[in-house]
């Protein structure tokens, strides 16, 4: 036995495709990118699409195909959601882009993940760099919402739209990993994982790995894992709000966001799922009213409005609706 | 002083101050246009940028760069003034200009100037009144002259009583409690807006105070929802301001957080004036209380984020929940992962909760196991080294023998 057996990492990392050739989906995009690698030339790129569809993977694979295993020497990777201000652009990214290209290398690459989280002035500064240093540096911007990227940047990039992964692609990959890891699984469970992950490969693989950690991967385990991943506080918070206890509901919300570190979007999406789950007895028409409002809040959060205050408005709405429902049942007596 | 200079040299004075928009394109438009042409009557120009420390990167995007460009390109002198020349955003400017520091005026100088004005303007003036004006001005000559003028214009004379009745300290700020009470209790929109203008709280803190205290003040559920909805809309505007730098939007945010809240209270009007004890924003307290936990969570997110090529936020929302499940249900796997990612005891505790001691024990076992293996490897390595040494020695001996044996040995050596 050697110490390698002790090495256990997340499967999303372990099974990330290393080369464009290994990427199973987004075939048309891959074909065009491989052309770029072949010609050792490419424009600035903008990869747009929902999370977990392979934007980062493809960007890294492209870099590796261009430069080989030492690709990190010619690639600067930053995440705009961690460093969103103009400073990063002016210091780190500028320093990297302006230095000369080493001989034998066509250009360097800056991968800017979650670029739609950049502030407007940072985007303006970035646009200048993209013009000034195009000879030495090409940018690959990754974004969930390309509409949040300013027009002048979009027009300087070749835009690639990544689609959510198909059921076959996801299930096939899950099966491949499960076989490699000697995991016992039900075929049906893999399909359920796909349904839950909505074409987000990272989520699908994480669910698979956590399920495998619990034992055999069957439908029941998968649902158990998904349930565990969603803190029970979400449901408690909804129930408190419905029974008119706004302040207590708000305390739960704070616990979710501050202690668990959930984002407002997460809370909203999980609330949406809870509202429609059969465990809460909410009149069907009220469910629709709530869904409409949750959608509105979701939109505002995506725009960047204060998260707790938006969610408090949502909780206050639930209090109000709960009050109405209570009125209905009291009339029956 | 700049005005004196311009007059002395016969230059035309072009001024840009804090009330103008000073985004880069504004500066480009005004200054660059005017900087290469002589003025209409053929005079040279002098460009005055007043209060450059009032340039904020967010609002006046690119302004400093534009000024630097201007400094390089213009044919005319540029003079900038600043209350705080050491402000961060001025660093690059400082390197490109000659800085002249002007000292704050002392009491003697200000009084002397006020006296001179009085003489020139034929104002009868009491010394104690001037001192009162000086005290109000706290060293700011402009405000002292304005105050003097305010009193003198109306009455032609300046004495202490008159000064005291006319001049008051500039608007007093409202503390958080007064601010909230004024907003909730407003009968007219302007009252609520005034409360926001005069509050001592900055905008973010005011939002926090309101967010905390809406349910304390408002009992009717519909009123409460209306109030939260307006507050929520106000933050949409504030976030748009941050994103676009368009401060015009601020007034709408103020409308929604002031009057928007005051007039959300409709079903139960009594709530407006109900006396409540307001509380400090619990969210702020909570954030500082849980700081340590959140920092540990953040460092887990940094480790995972770097390996998975995702942001800390995404690591927290998309990966850590699943790590938690693994750590709370499969201690064996958890111990191995903790080792692979180099997680600290604190991090393991946050992920695993009560299972953490079991994981830590397993990690110790594995570590001794790894040590044993590496010991064995070392020993093997040593053995191999020894073997090689021995072989070398025997070879040398062989060589020696070969040398001694002469010709045949050399032949062998050559053939190798």
Minimal C-alpha gap between A169 and chain B (Å): 20
Give residue-wise pLDDT tens across range B195-218.
998 888 888 899 999 999 999 999
Is residue A134 domain-shared with residue A65, that is, in the same domain? Answer: yes
- Residue A143 included in any domain: yes
Instruction: Pick from A234, A262, A306, A325 the residue to mutate for testing the B interface (most B CBs within 10 Å).
Output: A306
- Residue A29 included in any domain: yes
- Residue A333 included in any domain: no
- The span from the CA of B63 to the CA of B26, in Å, is 8
Is residue A297 domain-shared with residue A188, that is, in the same domain? Answer: no
From A8, A56, A244, residue closest to B337, measured CB to CB? A8
More confident residue, A266 or A111: A111
What ipTM was predicted for this assembly? 0.82
- Residue A80 included in any domain: yes
Is residue A108 domain-shared with residue A211, that is, in the same domain? Answer: no
- Residue A330 included in any domain: no
From B215, B225, B322, residue closest to A229, measured CB to CB? B322
- Residue A189 CB contacts under 8 Å (≥ 6 apart), including other chains: A211, A217, A218, A219, A221, A222
Residue A147 pLDDT > 80: yes
Give residue-wise pLDDT tens across range B356-376.
999 999 999 988 888 888 888
- The span from the CA of A193 to the CA of A226, in Å, is 9
DSSP character at residue B174? B
CA nearest A58 in B: which residue?
B309
Residue B61 pLDDT > 80: no
Is residue B218 domain-shared with residue B279, that is, in the same domain? Answer: yes
Query: pLDDT exceeding 90 applies to what percent of chain B?
Result: 32
- The span from the CA of A318 to the CA of B297, in Å, is 31
Q: Give the pLDDT confidence score for residue A63 in this predicted structure.
A: 95
CA nearest B209 in A: which residue?
A309
CA distances from A143 to A203, B111, B252 (A): 18, 63, 30
Q: Give the pLDDT confidence score for residue B314 in this predicted structure.
A: 87
Compute the Cα dihedral for B39, B41, B44, B50 and give only its sign.
negative
- The span from the CA of B215 to the CA of B404, in Å, is 104
Report the Cα–Cα distance between both ends of chain B, in Å, rounded. 94
| DSSP structure string for B75-111 | SS-EEE--S-TT-GGGHHHHTTS-----PPPPHHHHH
Is residue B269 domain-shared with residue B199, that is, in the same domain? Answer: yes
More confident residue, A152 or B408: A152
From the DSSP assignment, how many helices (H) and strands (E) are in chain A? 16, 5
| DSSP structure string for A154-218 | HTTEEEEEPPPPPHHHHHHHHHHHHHHTT--B-HHHHHHHHHHHTT-HHHHHHHHHHHHHHSSB-
Mean local confidence (pLDDT), B258-278: 92
Is residue B220 domain-shared with residue B252, that is, in the same domain? Answer: yes
- Residue B227 included in any domain: yes
Cβ separation of A121 and B57 shorter than 8 Å? Answer: yes
Q: Which residues of B touch A268 (CB under 8 A)?
A: none
Domain that holds residue A278: 231-325
Q: Which residues of B touch A113 (CB under 8 A)?
A: 309-311
Question: Residue B139 belongs to a domain with what CATH number?
Answer: 1.10.8.60
Minimal C-alpha gap between B333 and chain A (Å): 7
Question: Residue A188 belongs to a domain with what CATH number?
Answer: 1.10.8.60
Instruction: Report CA dihedral (A237, A239, A242, A245) to the nearest 10 degrees.
Output: -60
What are the φ/ψ torsions at residue B302 (nearest 5 degrees)? -65, -45
Average pLDDT over chain A, rounded to whole? 89
Q: Give the pLDDT confidence score for residue B162 in this predicted structure.
A: 76
CA distances from A301 to A42, A297, A311 (A): 35, 6, 9
- Residue B171 CB contacts under 8 Å (≥ 6 apart), including other chains: B198
Q: Among candidates B79, B14, B83, B95, which has minimal Cα distance to B55?
A: B83
Is residue B258 domain-shared with residue B188, that is, in the same domain? Answer: yes
Domain that holds residue B234: 176-287
B287, B304, B324 - which closes a domain:
B287
Q: Which residues of B touch A227 (CB under 8 A)?
A: none
From B232, B282, B297, residue closest to A313, measured CB to CB? B232
Is residue A146 domain-shared with residue A260, that is, in the same domain? Answer: no
Q: Give the pLDDT confidence score for residue B44 in this predicted structure.
A: 76
Question: Residue A286 belongs to a domain with what CATH number?
Answer: 1.20.272.10
Q: Which of A73-87, B11-25, B187-201 has the lowest mean pLDDT?
A: B11-25
- Residue A294 included in any domain: yes
Q: Which of A16-30, A212-226, B53-67 has the lowest mean pLDDT?
A: B53-67
Q: Which of A137-141, B171-175, B308-312, B317-321 has the lowest mean pLDDT?
A: B171-175
Minimal C-alpha gap between A41 and chain B (Å): 24
Is residue B160 domain-shared with residue B201, that is, in the same domain? Answer: no
Cβ separation of B318 and A323 shorter than 8 Å? Answer: no
- The span from the CA of A128 to the CA of B264, in Å, is 46
Bridge partners of residue A319, in order along the sequence: none
Provide the residue count of chain A: 333
Minimal C-alpha gap between A312 and chain B (Å): 7
Minimal C-alpha gap between B329 and chain A (Å): 6
Q: Which residues of A touch B294 (CB under 8 A)?
A: 258-259, 261
Is residue A218 domain-shared with residue A255, that is, in the same domain? Answer: no
A112, A146, A161 - which closes a domain:
A161
- Residue A250 included in any domain: yes
More confident residue, B99 or A216: A216
Is residue A266 domain-shared with residue A297, that is, in the same domain? Answer: yes
CA nearest A225 in B: which residue?
B325
Mean local confidence (pLDDT), B379-401: 76
Residue pair B241/B56 in contact by the 8 Å Cβ criterion: no
Q: Which residues of A touch B321 (CB under 8 A)?
A: 228-230
Mean local confidence (pLDDT), A210-231: 90
Q: Give the pLDDT confidence score for residue A104 in this predicted structure.
A: 84
Q: Which residues of A touch B343 (CB under 8 A)?
A: none
Percent helix, strand and coil across chain B, each to the nearest 5: 70, 5, 25
Minimal C-alpha gap between A244 and chain B (Å): 8
Cβ separation of B339 and A266 shorter than 8 Å? Answer: no
- The span from the CA of A217 to the CA of A213, in Å, is 9
Residue B29 pLDDT > 90: no
What confidence category does residue B80 fall into, taking pLDDT thresholds of 50, 70 and 90?
Answer: confident
Residue pair B96/B69 in contact by the 8 Å Cβ criterion: no
B53, B73, B94 - which closes a domain:
B94
Is residue A18 domain-shared with residue A129, that is, in the same domain? Answer: yes
- Residue B81 CB contacts under 8 Å (≥ 6 apart), including other chains: B2, B48, B49, B50, B51, B52
Is residue A40 domain-shared with residue A95, that is, in the same domain? Answer: yes
Is residue A124 domain-shared with residue A195, that is, in the same domain? Answer: no
| DSSP structure string for B193-254 | HHHHHTBSS-HHHHHHHHHHHHHHH--SHHHHHHHHHHHHHHHHHHHHHHHH--GGGHHHHH
- Residue B89 included in any domain: yes
What are the φ/ψ torsions at residue A15 (nearest 5 degrees)? -110, 20
Minimal C-alpha gap between B272 and chain A (Å): 18
Is residue B151 domain-shared with residue B223, that is, in the same domain? Answer: no
Residue pair A200/A164 in contact by the 8 Å Cβ criterion: yes
Q: Among A83-87, A111-115, A299-303, which range has the highest average pLDDT? A: A111-115
Q: Give the pLDDT confidence score for residue A62 in this predicted structure.
A: 95
From B225, B290, B336, residue closest to A317, measured CB to CB? B225
DSSP character at residue A104? T
From the DSSP assignment, how many helices (H) and strands (E) are in chain B? 23, 5
Cβ separation of A12 and B317 shorter than 8 Å? Answer: no
Q: Which of A212-216, B167-171, B388-392 has the lowest mean pLDDT?
A: B167-171
Minimal C-alpha gap between A310 and chain B (Å): 5
- The span from the CA of A32 to the CA of A49, in Å, is 17
Domain count, chain B: 3
- Residue B204 included in any domain: yes
Q: Which of B134-148, B260-274, B292-306, B395-409 has the lowest mean pLDDT?
A: B395-409
Is residue B221 domain-shared with residue B253, that is, in the same domain? Answer: yes
Instruction: Pick from B69, B91, B221, B332 the residue to mutate for testing the A interface (most A CBs within 10 Å).
Output: B221
| Residues A185, A164, A311: CA angle, nearest 5 degrees | 95
B94, B128, B147 - which closes a domain:
B94
Is residue B214 domain-shared with residue B268, that is, in the same domain? Answer: yes
Residue A142 pLDDT > 90: yes
Query: pLDDT exceeding 90 applies to what percent of chain A?
Result: 60
Is residue A155 domain-shared with residue A13, that is, in the same domain? Answer: yes
A175, A206, A226 - which closes a domain:
A226
Is residue B56 domain-shared with residue B145, that is, in the same domain? Answer: no
Structure tokens, B173? 């700020």
- The span from the CA of A72 to the CA of B226, in Å, is 53
Compute the Cα dihedral for B343, B346, B352, B356 and give only its sign.
positive
Is residue A280 domain-shared with residue A200, that is, in the same domain? Answer: no
- The span from the CA of A113 to the CA of A77, in Å, is 8
Is residue B132 domain-shared with residue B182, that is, in the same domain? Answer: no
Is residue A119 domain-shared with residue A215, that is, in the same domain? Answer: no
Cβ separation of B336 and A56 shorter than 8 Å? Answer: no
Rg of chain A taking only CA atoms, in angstroms: 23
Q: Among A60-64, A90-94, B80-84, B111-115, which range has the highest average pLDDT? A: A60-64
Is residue B180 domain-shared with residue B282, that is, in the same domain? Answer: yes
Minimal C-alpha gap between B173 and chain A (Å): 26
Provide the residue count of chain B: 416
Mean local confidence (pLDDT), A192-221: 93
Average pLDDT over chain B, rounded to whole? 82
A161, A195, A214 - which closes a domain:
A161
Q: Give the pLDDT confidence score for residue B21 in this predicted structure.
A: 63
- Residue B233 included in any domain: yes
- Residue A332 included in any domain: no
Burial of A23 (0-12, 13-18, 19+ CB in 10 A): buried
Question: Residue B45 belongs to a domain with what CATH number?
Answer: 3.40.50.300
Q: Among candidates B52, B19, B20, B23, which has minimal Cα distance to B245?
A: B23
Cβ separation of B373 and A316 shorter than 8 Å? Answer: no
Q: Which residues of B touch A114 (CB under 8 A)?
A: 311, 314
Domain count, chain A: 3
CA nearest A51 in B: which residue?
B314
pTM: 0.63
Residue pair B148/B158 in contact by the 8 Å Cβ criterion: yes
What confidence category does residue A328 fall into, taking pLDDT thresholds of 50, 70 and 90?
Answer: very low
Is residue B26 domain-shared with residue B71, that is, in the same domain? Answer: yes
- Residue B90 included in any domain: yes
From A120, A202, A228, residue closest to B245, measured CB to CB? A120
Compute the Cα dihedral for A40, A46, A49, A55 and give only its sign.
positive
Bridge partners of residue B16, in order along the sequence: B49
Instruction: Pick from A4, A5, A6 the residue to mutate for testing the B interface (most B CBs within 10 Å).
Output: A6
């Amino acid at each position: 036995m050697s110490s390698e057996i002790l090495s256990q990492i997340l499967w999303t990392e372990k099974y990330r495709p290393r080369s464009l050739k290994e990427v199973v989906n987004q075939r048309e995009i891959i074909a065009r990118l491989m052309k770029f690698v072949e010609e050792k030339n490419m424009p600035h790129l903008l990869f747009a699409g929902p999370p977990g569809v392979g934007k980062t993977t493809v960007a890294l694979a492209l870099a590796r195909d261009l430069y080989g295993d030492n690709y990190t020497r010619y690639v600067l990777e930053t995440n705009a959601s961690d460093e969103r201000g103009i400073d990063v652009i002016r210091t780190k990214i500028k320093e990297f882009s302006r230095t000369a290209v080493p001989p034998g290398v066509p250009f360097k690459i800056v991968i800017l993940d979650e670029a739609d989280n950049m502030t407007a002035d940072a985007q303006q500064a970035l646009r200048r760099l993209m013009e000034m240093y195009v000879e030495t540096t090409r940018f690959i911007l990754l974004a969930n919402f390309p509409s949040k990227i300013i027009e002048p940047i979009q027009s300087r990039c070749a835009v690639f739209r990544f689609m959510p992964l198909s059921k076959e692609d996801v299930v096939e990959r899950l099966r491949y990993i499960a076989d490699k890891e000697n995991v016992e699984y039900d075929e049906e469970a893999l399909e359920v994982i796909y349904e839950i992950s909505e074409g987000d490969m990272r989520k699908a693989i994480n669910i698979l790995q956590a399920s495998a950690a619990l034992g055999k991967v069957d439908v029941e385990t998968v649902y158990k894992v998904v349930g565990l991943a969603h803190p029970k506080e979400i449901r408690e918070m909804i129930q408190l709000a419905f029974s008119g206890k706004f302040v207590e509901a708000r305390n739960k919300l704070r616990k979710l966001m501050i202690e668990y570190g959930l984002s407002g979007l997460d809370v909203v999406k999980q609330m949406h799922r809870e509202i429609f789950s059969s465990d809460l007895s909410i009149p069907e028409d009220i469910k629709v009213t709530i869904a409409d409002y949750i959608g509105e809040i979701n939109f505002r959060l995506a725009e960047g409005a204060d998260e707790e205050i938006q969610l408090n408005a949502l909780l206050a709405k639930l209090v109000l609706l709960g009050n109405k429902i209570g009125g209905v049942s009291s009339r029956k007596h | 002083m700049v005005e004196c200079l311009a007059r002395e040299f016969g230059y035309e004075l072009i001024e840009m101050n804090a009330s103008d928009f000073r985004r880069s394109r504004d500066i480009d438009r005004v200054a660059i246009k005017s900087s290469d042409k002589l003025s209409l009557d053929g005079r040279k120009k002098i460009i005055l940028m007043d209060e450059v420390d009032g340039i904020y990167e967010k609002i006046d995007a690119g302004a400093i760069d534009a000024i630097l460009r201007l400094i390089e390109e213009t044919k005319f002198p540029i003079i900038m003034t600043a209350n705080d020349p050491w402000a961060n955003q001025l660093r690059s400017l400082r390197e490109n200009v000659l800085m002249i520091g002007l000292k704050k005026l002392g009491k003697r100088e200000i009084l002397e100037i006020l006296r001179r004005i009085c003489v020139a303007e034929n104002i009868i003036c009491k010394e104690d009144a001037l001192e009162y004006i000086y005290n109000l001005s706290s060293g700011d000559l402009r405000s002292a002259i304005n105050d003097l003028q305010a009193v003198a214009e109306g009455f032609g004379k300046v004495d202490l009583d008159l000064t005291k009745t006319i001049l008051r300290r500039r608007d007093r700020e409202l503390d958080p409690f007064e601010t909230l009470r004024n907003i909730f209790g407003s009968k007219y929109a302007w009252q609520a807006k005034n409360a926001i203008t005069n509050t001592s709280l900055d905008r973010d803190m005011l939002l926090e105070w309101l967010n905390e205290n809406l349910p304390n003040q408002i009992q009717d559920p519909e009123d409460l929802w209306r109030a939260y909805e307006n507050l929520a809309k106000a933050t949409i505007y504030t976030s748009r301001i941050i994103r676009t730098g368009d401060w015009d939007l601020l007034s709408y945010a103020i409308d929604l957080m002031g009057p928007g809240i005051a007039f959300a209270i409709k079903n139960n009007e009594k709530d407006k004036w109900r006396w409540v004890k307001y509380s400090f924003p619990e969210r702020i307290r909570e954030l500082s209380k849980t700081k340590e936990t959140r920092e540990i969570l953040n460092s887990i997110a940094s480790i995972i984020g770097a390996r998975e090529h995702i942001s800390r936020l995404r690591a927290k929302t998309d990966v850590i929940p699943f790590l938690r499940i693994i750590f709370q249900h499969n201690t064996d796997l958890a111990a191995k992962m903790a080792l692979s990612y180099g997680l600290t005891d604190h991090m393991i505790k946050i992920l695993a909760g009560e299972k953490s001691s079991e994981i830590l024990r397993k990690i110790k076992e594995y570590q001794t196991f790894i040590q044993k293996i590496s010991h064995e490897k070392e020993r093997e390595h040593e053995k191999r080294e020894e073997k090689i040494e021995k072989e070398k020695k025997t070879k040398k001996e062989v060589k020696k023998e070969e040398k001694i044996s002469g010709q045949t040995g050399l032949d062998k050596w050559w053939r190798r």
